Amino acid sequence: MPGTALVLAGFGVFAISAIKTEESMPYILALDQGTTSSRAIVFDLEGQPQAMAQQEFMQHFPQPGWVEHDPLEIWQTQLQVAQEAIQRAAIQPSEIVALGITNQRETTVLWERATGKPVHRAIVWQDRRTAPICDELRKGGYEGLFRQKTGLVLDAYFSGTKVKWLLENVPGFRERAGKGELCFGTIDSWLIYNLTGGRVHATDVSNASRTLLFNLHTQRWDEELLGILGLPKALLPEVRPSAGLFGETLPELFGAPIPIAGVAGDQQAALFGQACFTPGMAKNTYGTGCFLLMHTGQEQVTSQNGLLTTVAWQLEGGPLEYALEGSVFVAGAVVQWLRDGLGIIQNSSEIEHLARQVSSTDGVYLVPAFVGLGAPYWDPYARGTVVGLTRGSSKAHLARAALEAIAYQSRDVLEAMEADAGLQLSELRMDGGATVNDLLMQFQADILGTPVVRPQVTETTALGAAYLAGVGVGLLTQAQIAQRWAVQKRFEPAMGQEERARLYSGWKKAVERAKSWVDA
């Protein structure tokens, strides 16, 4: 099959060295392909992680505002950690009943249909090179059309303009795309293609809804939008439900074929993993970026406050379900910047200890608009800004300001979401790597004035992919998943209203300093 040679390059037949003697149990393998690392977790059907493996991979910054990944490195690291997680779990391949995939969304890959070879580095969701294309589309009067059909704003964040850029700027790509020689996919499609040896070129509805090409009303790729962007339909993957059979992995990858039965973008997967199945329930995920989603059921809520209408998921045979989303581009990435860019910490885990060395930022605000501002501002030309520095400012103040910036950005989004939904949340469920930081979690509750809840399993993105796969093979129901969700710690607001208002007012002033001159 096309792509098989590529898939197997550098990897021998995978063998399980550990043999279990007890009665066989069913497990689900979740692949969590993120912006800075590839992870794999083996879960049991109770949603408990049994083993995990993770590898970071290279970030490429060819020009200011440009962010790229090597698709082959993504595939190789993802395959390696999946194999490693199975070995660590000491289980047989036959015990894995399903595989779920969750992925960094909007990141754009083009590859050769015949060989499976990528023809360009992946353009990452954070990349801002297509902001001028979005400007031109707005000038052409297309913003309302895209918003009405896709639920999205015209921003460089999304995949459609990234594909347009590739076809317009790389010689030969447009001609090859027109002939059907190239495939486009978000990272889920890229992984599915490789896992199945080129047999399946598909995506799920949640990832499709992040491309600027998927019509929420017809639930299909939109011919008019493809025409406006100049993209041939032959490039596109087939769109399928989030829970259902996509295909089987090549048996030589893991020692046995495994059904791929659940696929969702990382934020939708986290919403599912947090068991936010009832309209009005919401979660916030702290990863490279920060993403707050509220489930709206079968209703498409059109935002009046800079948020996105997005597909939450679709179960096989069921309707599309939707969410309101606020996307913050830089959250955990600001901690990486303190580590890699400034060198004031050696490991990301040191940030809380450093920030606790001071009781406040002493008026320092850090606006991490390194790749522009997302919701609710949507300013691609904003840039990172630090205000309020004095001679007494230290690296501890900067560390604390970085953590507080994550919480302030989440409040920006939550206020917009509550206005759109016409309700006030009674609590916000939290997940992602930064939720282990108690200082951040408490400040988040304080600046929101709303309790925040950390679940027992904080890897809810991978858990959501596993749960979708379990539903996809008929072994789990949403009712069972809701029963398994449990609280690990609840953070109650402890800050007075006057102090909360004072601090947030300072943040809003700092954001104004970071905004582009065009909008000033």
Q: What is the CATH number of the domain that holds 178?
A: 3.30.420.40
What is the span of the domain harbouring residue 68? 4-265
Is residue 23 included in any domain, yes or no? yes
Is 433 one of the annotated binding-site residues?
A: yes
Is 492 one of the annotated binding-site residues?
A: no
Is 157 one of the annotated binding-site residues?
A: yes
Is 310 one of the annotated binding-site residues?
A: no
- Write the pLDDT tens digit of every residue in 291-313: 899 898 998 888 888 888 999 99
- Write the pLDDT tens digit of every residue in 331-356: 888 888 989 888 988 888 888 999 99
Is residue 11 included in any domain, yes or no? yes
Among 453, 435, 425, which Cα is nearest to 278's? 425
Among 332, 380, 330, 418, which Cα is nearest to 154's? 380
Is 255 one of the annotated binding-site residues?
A: no
Is 267 one of the annotated binding-site residues?
A: yes
Is 142 one of the annotated binding-site residues?
A: no
| pTM (predicted TM-score) | 0.84
Token output for 113: 């249909």
Q: Residue 326: pLDDT above 50? A: yes
Is 4 one of the annotated binding-site residues?
A: no
Is residue 218 included in any domain, yes or no? yes
Is residue 144 included in any domain, yes or no? yes
Is 36 one of the annotated binding-site residues?
A: yes
Q: Residue 22: pLDDT above 80? A: no
Is 343 one of the annotated binding-site residues?
A: no
Q: Residue 13: pLDDT above 50? A: no
Is residue 226 included in any domain, yes or no? yes
Q: Residue 24: pLDDT above 70? A: no
Q: Residue 15: pLDDT above 60? A: no
Among 386, 373, 286, 378, which Cα is nearest to 336's? 286
Q: Residue 7: pLDDT above 80? A: no
Most confident of 18-27, 142-151, 199-208, 455-464: 199-208
Give mean pLDDT, residues 33-44.
94
Is residue 451 included in any domain, yes or no? no
Is residue 459 included in any domain, yes or no? no
> Omega of the bond prior to 376 within 30 degrees of 0, cis?
yes
- Write the pLDDT tens digit of every residue in 438-448: 999 999 999 99
Instruction: Quickly state the pLDDT bin for 112 (edges 50, 70, 90).
Output: very high
Q: Residue 520: pLDDT above 80? A: no
Is 105 one of the annotated binding-site residues?
A: yes
CA within 13 Å, CB half, 504:
20
Is 322 one of the annotated binding-site residues?
A: no
Single-letter amino acid, residue 49: P
CB 440 within 8 A of CB 454: no
The reported pLDDT for the residue numbered 462 is: 94
Gap between the Cα atoms of 54 and 52, Å rounded: 7
Give mean pLDDT, residues 370-380.
86
- Residue 51, beta-bridge partner list: 42
Task: Report the chain's mean pLDDT, rounded to a whole number.
Answer: 89
- Write the pLDDT tens digit of every residue in 196-213: 999 999 999 999 999 999
Is residue 457 included in any domain, yes or no? no
Q: Please tell me the total count of domains within the chain.
A: 1
Give mean pLDDT, residues 71-95.
95
Lowest mean pLDDT across 221-225, 285-289, 361-365, 402-406: 285-289
Give mean pLDDT, residues 404-411.
94
Lowest mean pLDDT across 15-19, 102-106, 123-127: 15-19
Among 261, 221, 267, which Cα is nearest to 245's? 261
Q: Residue 17: pLDDT above 70? A: no
